[in-house]
Amino acid sequence: MEIGIVGLASSGKTTLFNALTKGRAETAGRGFANLAPNIGVAKVPDERLQRLSAMFKPQKTTPAEIKYTDVAPAPSSEKKKEGWTGQLLAYLSQEDALVAVIRAFKDDSIPHPDGSIDPLRDLGNIEMELAFSDLAIMERRLEKLVNSLKAAKPAEREAHLKEQSLLGRIKASLEKDIPVREQALSPDELKALEGYKFLTQKPLLAVFNIGENDLKQTSALEVEWLKKIHKPQFRLLAICAKLEAELSQLTDEEAKSFRSDMGATEPALDKLVRTSYDVLGLINFFTVGPDEVKAWTIRKGTPAQKAAGKIHTDIERGFIRAEVVTYTDLIKVGGLAEARKLGLLRAEGKTYEVKDGDVINYLFNV
């Protein structure tokens, strides 16, 4: 899974990136330009993986990973017609989802580029930048289609007209502030758009970056902001990126102790990862053994044979069957041999829909 982090200058997006990846990227002085992004990887926290590792005692335990790309900040409102351009757009177009970091903290030593703290305004500006970038792509393609239609053969002409009609309809809705993800598009239409990689088609998770003084009001603030937004397919979290970045540099035990003193039941970054999975419709399955216990990330509804391709294309190509036991059953009985004896380890075919927490052993022949 790859997620792009976007935001205005001084929003704290690079601070959040550092918190997620345990990195130390420079947080000051990044302007709106074609700068190389910060790229890092975060391990996906999953207690199930740790319990499986304790059971099998493998040489290696490998969690699922999320790759985060932190691009240069979006232009402030006075430059809002510029949109993301060039290499920055190329980076964002490759992401599976976007995290928009919205400033909600007050700090007089860090001036806001628009002169005041207004999270809802800033969220609107970010969404506008995403829309401008998509509109620019549509306009360029529509111009090419007009020229192509002049010399198109009958078969080509029909395809061009169909594409022109679809893009025109999507563009009209986008100009009415309806992102592509919220437009009622058919499966065939969504497939036709795959090559465009529109930014407003990607799932969007807004992180409202709050100050430490607001930590005890986190849930109340999330509810308050969500009431004012009313967007389908939209997720919002309130996180103090500065605190999370500081905690990321501590040992796990030190961070756990600090959170306990604060009365926090779940690390904010764990909640962010969990919400990212939810908005993307992702699940984890596991492979186990003495060499390695590993978590694999797939989309909900993925059949067993296609899921095998996450491990290796040879396994997908030579798929025979999958031996599957649920994580809950495996933990309950204490091992694969016990699960087999009790009939809990079952054989599934290529069309079996892998479930979250499945522990799978693939049999294949190539």
Domain boundaries, the chain: 2-114+202-279, 130-200, 301-364
pTM of the model: 0.88
The rounded distance, in Å, linking the Cα atoms of 358 and 99 is 28
* Residue 186 CA from chain centroid, whole number: 23
In contact, 114 and 104? CB cutoff 8 Å: no
As assigned by CATH, the class of the 2-114+202-279 domain is alpha beta
Rounded to an integer, the average pLDDT of 61-89 is 76
Q: Is the pLDDT of residue 263 over 80?
A: no
pLDDT in tens, 117-175: 999 999 999 999 999 999 999 999 999 999 888 888 888 888 889 999 999 999 999 99
Banded pLDDT at 4 (limits 50, 70, 90): very high
Q: In what order do the strands lie in the sheet with 65-70?
A: 38-43, 65-70, 2-7, 97-103, 204-209, 234-239
Q: What is the mean pLDDT of the chain?
A: 90
Lowest mean pLDDT among 3-17, 233-247, 342-356: 233-247
| CATH 3.40.50.1970 correct for 301-364 | no
Share above pLDDT 90 across residues of the chain, in percent, rounded to a whole number: 66
In contact, 297 and 283? CB cutoff 8 Å: yes
Banded pLDDT at 72 (limits 50, 70, 90): confident
The alpha carbon torsion through 300, 40, 33, 241 (nearest 10 deg) reads: 90
* Residue 122 CA from chain centroid, whole number: 20
State residue 156's pLDDT score: 87
Residues pairing with 9 in the sheet: none
CA-to-CA dists, residue 284 to 24, 121, 174, 352, 363, angstroms: 29, 36, 34, 15, 19
Q: Is the pLDDT of residue 33 over 90?
A: no
State residue 29's pLDDT score: 58
Architecture per CATH, domain 130-200, reads as Orthogonal Bundle (1.10)
The rounded distance, in Å, linking the Cα atoms of 93 and 334 is 44
Provide CB contacts within 8 A for 130, sequence distance 6+.
6, 84, 98, 179, 199, 200, 204
